Chain A
Amino acid sequence: MNTGDTAWVLVSAAMVLLMTPGLAFFYGGMTRAKGVLNMMMMSFGAIAVVGVLWVLFGYSASFGTDVGGGLLGNPFEKFGLQGVLDTGEGMPLVGTIPEIAFVGFQAVFAIITVALITGAIADRAKFGAWMVFAAVWVTVVYFPVAHWVFSFTKDANGNPTGGWIGQGLGVIDFAGGTAVHINAGAAALALALILGKRKGFGKDPSHRPHNLPFVMLGAGLLWFGWFGFNAGSALGANAVAGYAWINTLAAPCAAILGWLLVEKLRDGHATSLGAASGAVAGLVAITPACSAITPMWSLALGLLAGAVCALAVGLKYRLGFDDSLDVVGVHLVGGIIGTLFIGLAADPSAPAAGNGLFYGGGLELLGKQSLGAFAVMLYSFTMAYIIGWIINKTMGFRISKEHEIAGIDVAIHAESAYDFGGRVSGSFSPHSETFPTGPSLAEVSHSDQKVEA
């Protein structure tokens, strides 16, 4: 075990967990004021439900011994994290770090992936239905796909027994372009189709973001956490982490410029929402590629991803689906760009040692990257559509029209985000019957006065 590596991965894991509250701010700011709490609650709900399932069987299903064809880990092998809890001499390691640290690092990837989907269903999904969807989707989609992409286990003889995309096919996905972003983006598209459009989609000007400083705060927190996401994926405090770190700086910077350039040319204004979105688009695109391409190519990838995603987010109006906060336009499109770009610009001298088209590798790597990307997209979309359809037909996925118009926060959570101290008429009843009751304040002061008299 290497303590430096372990320290870096544990810090990275904490940074990646912060991405989900960051995402809550990013998404929350983009919704209307009457739905911001629900938007944030869906992210916090994802943290809760995925965290529990990860400890129970998620880690085992993702990283347990393959049960056949590189499709799934054995969910019972490490159920409840049995087998990875030894902290003494015989502790299991992943590379140079304790496996239990790796468990934590991978847990937060599962959490953020599920939370990303919520951007497609803003303002209109029943919270309970979302929690059920999150639990089922992460079980039947994320855990297997994480196994496909991230599991590099070998048997006792050193023969590969990991996932079919990462280890079998040899697709390069350093930190989750396929497993996280394409996966979440495809599921988001399915749910946007299942739930239908918000009332007034494409027409009502009140659908504007209610708090752009929240959006920029969220983008900042996401970027900070993303250094853990990408550089932490080196699983060590080493030069590979540094390589990934620099690419995680370069690509989003260029992507902001790409997005803003498109906005300035198309709309006449470079917007703050565009800067925040451009940064996220660049981060998405560099995620699979950050160990495979040089920083110079990262700048090119970022510029491309920023510009293309800026153009892609308008497609929902043309195609008529309400991907409310552009999960498809940013994460699916950005993830595909980054994953395919590896097939073009992967440098054999980079840590991932891929051989892209520009470096004389021919179309082989590009073909593999395409197959990996589209397999994940197809599987995630199909499964998310089926799960969403069943939930919609049984418990119902969408809130009533009345509740949507009045605001989902009050209807679902009995809370409102902002109180500006205006005149309020009504009553207030503390749940005092559940506590021991004594004399009220009024009675006490009244009796005091009597004593003085």
Chain B
Amino acid sequence: MKLITAIIRPEQLDDVRADLESYGVQGLTVSSAHGYGRQRGHTEIYRGAEYTVDLHAKVRIEVLATDEQAYDLMDTIVASSNTGNAGDGKVWMVEVYDAVRVRTGERGVAAI
């Protein structure tokens, strides 16, 4: 069982979500995030003074997956969030030891 975390452009969220649902993903968590990668931030100008803002607005997606699904889901997210420009984000997965569905008490893969 894996946890896939993706930091993507906010405007790509709808595409990613649609593709994940097409694949059969039942649920995911979306939160707003701020950060920067290699492209660093953007510059704003007020009365001639430049303010460099390092943190871009991003969206973080978290989705639990079975071991069989995990690489497919990663590929799906990468394909649908890729615009070819700097700042497209990053996707990674980590091992999850257990999960529980709170309502029913189901554990492991059954809880996904």
Contact = CB atoms under 8 A, between A and B. Distances in A.
B46 interface: yes
Interface size class of A (residues with CB under 8 A): 20 to 34
Contact of A326 (B47, B51, B52, B54): B47
Contact of A266 (B48, B51, B54): B48
A274 B47 contact: yes
Contact of B46 (A266, A271, A311): A271
B52 A277 contact: no
Interface stretch (A205-213, A243-251, A408-416): A205-213
Interface string A234-271: 00000000000000000000000000000100110101
Nearest to B53: A205
A332 interface: no
Which one of A208, A263, A326 has the highest number of Cβ atoms from chain B below 10 Å of its Cβ? Answer: A208
Contacts of A138: none
Contacts of B68: none
Contacts of B52: 205
Contact of A269 (B45, B49, B53): B45
A317 interface: yes
A271 B51 contact: no
A263 B53 CA distance: 20
A208 B53 CA distance: 10
A313 B51 contact: no
Nearest to B44: A208
A314 interface: yes
Interface size class of B (residues with CB under 8 A): 10 to 19
11 contacts: A205-B44, A205-B54, A208-B51, A209-B46, A266-B48, A273-B46, A310-B47, A310-B48, A313-B48, A314-B47, A314-B49
Nearest to A310: B48
A310 B51 CA distance: 17
A202 B54 CA distance: 16
Contacts of A271: 45-47
Nearest to A270: B45
Contacts of A263: 45, 48
B41 to A, nearest CB: 9
Interface string A273-286: 11001000000000
A447 to B, nearest CB: 38
Contact of A313 (B47, B50, B53): B47
A204 B86 CA distance: 25
A267 B46 CA distance: 10
Nearest to A259: B47
Nearest to B52: A205
Interface of B: 44-54
Contacts of A208: 44, 46, 51
What is the predominant secondary structure among interface residues of chain A facing chain B?
helix
Nearest to A326: B47
3 shortest A-B CB distances, which residue pairs? A205-B51, A314-B48, A267-B45
A209 B50 CA distance: 12
A207 B44 CA distance: 12
A267 B48 contact: yes
A353 B81 CA distance: 70
A71 to B, nearest CB: 37
Contacts of A317: 49
Contact of B47 (A202, A205, A277): A277
B46 to A, nearest CB: 5
A361 B26 CA distance: 85
Interface in A204-238: 205, 207-209
Contacts of A310: 47-48
A311 B47 CA distance: 9
Contacts of A314: 47-49
Interface in A177-213: 202, 205, 207-209
Nearest to B48: A314
Given A277-B47, A314-B47, 4 more contacts: A202-B49, A271-B45, A310-B48, A317-B49
A285 B25 CA distance: 65
Nearest to A204: B51
Nearest to B54: A205
Contacts of B46: 208-209, 271, 273
B63 to A, nearest CB: 24
Nearest to B46: A273
Contacts of B49: 202, 314, 317
B83 to A, nearest CB: 24
B26 to A, nearest CB: 26
A314 to B, nearest CB: 5
Which one of B45, B47, B50, B54 has the highest number of Cβ atoms from chain A below 10 Å of its Cβ? Answer: B47
A269 B53 CA distance: 17
A277 B45 CA distance: 14
B30 to A, nearest CB: 17
Nearest to A273: B46
B95 to A, nearest CB: 31
B51 A207 contact: yes
Contacts of B44: 205, 208
Interface in A302-334: 310-311, 313-314, 317, 326, 329
Contacts of A269: 45
Contacts of B48: 263, 266-267, 310-311, 313-314
